[in-house]
Each structure stands twice: as C-alpha cells, then as structure tokens.
Amino acid sequence: MGDAQAVQAIYAHYVTSTTISFEDVPPDVMEIERRIAAILPRYPYLVAEEDGRIVGYAYASEHRTRVAYRTSVDVTVYVAPGAQRSGVARCLYSRLLPAAASLGYHAAFAGIALPNDASVGLHEVMGFELVGVYREVGRKFDAWHDVGWWQRLL
C-alpha cells in the first residue's frame, strides 16, 4: 500500500488531462489504497520503479461479474508523464500477463479510449488483437469517445 500516493499522482494526470480515463475527478490516495486492496487478493498489481521513483503501474481486474467470465481479466497500464515511450509499459505487461496466467486466468482484455495510437501499438506488440469498438460510449470534455477492445489469450 506504500505505493498508493505515487499511483494516485500518475493516475490523476490521466483523469484530469486526457480521455484515457473516463473518470472526471481523480480518486484520492485513500480510494487508490482501497482499490489496490480490493484487487490484490485475486489479481496481480505491479509497479515499475526507476531511480527510486514509481514510473508506472499495471494490474489485472475482474472482466465481468458472471461466473462464466471467471478466467478472464481486464488489464490496465499507466506510465508517469516523462517516462512514456521508454519501455515501462512493455516491461510491466511482460510481467503482468504471465502472472495472470500463473493464477489460472485464460484471457486478457484491454479497453482503449480512441484515438490512442501509443496504447494501441503497445497492446498489439504485446499480442493483443482488436475484437471490437464501442462507438461513442463515453462522454468527456464535451465530446463523445469510442472505446476499442483488444484481447489476448494467456
């Protein structure tokens, strides 16, 4: 839980400045701690550190609530501004995906608010394939946004 403050700072940037997250108010550190605590008993949650500073994080979480989805996970990765395009996300996913597989998960899904060429490129390099697009599913900054869904079997 000692990483919650750094995770919150990274995530807050994406909430307030981008359409990558569809939240509109950044959760506070206590809420980030709660979210991490809820994920850890069943799913992997990783942070990347560089020179003593957390520069990114990734985690798996429940894909859907119905029991038949129990071996599928959603995956997420965020990288601190200034550390993007340095291999942090790829490094995190190269550890997260095998960790999810070792826990018995079979399929990973990633939702990407579009357009986001960097995230699409990352996921495709990591073996994800586009399975569909939800058109105008989110509204943020007074505009509609599509979300593409990518899948990879683990």
What pLDDT was estimated at residue 2? 81
What pLDDT was estimated at residue 85? 83
The residues, any chain, with a CB within 8 Å of residue 51's CB and separated by 6 or more, are none
Is this structure's pTM higher than 0.75? yes
Which tokens in the block code for residue 142? Answer: 């007074």
Looking at the structure, give the CATH architecture of the domain made up of residues 4-108: 3-Layer(aba) Sandwich (3.40)
What pLDDT was estimated at residue 84? 85
Mean pLDDT by 10 residues, the chain (154 residues): 91 97 98 97 97 96 97 98 90 98 98 97 98 98 98 98
Q: Could you give the CA distance from residue 37 to residue 41 in angstroms, rounded to a whole number?
A: 7
What pLDDT was estimated at residue 1? 55
Question: What does the domain layout of the chain look like in residue ranges?
Answer: 4-108
Q: Quickly count: other Cβ atoms within 10 Å of residue 113's Cβ.
A: 19
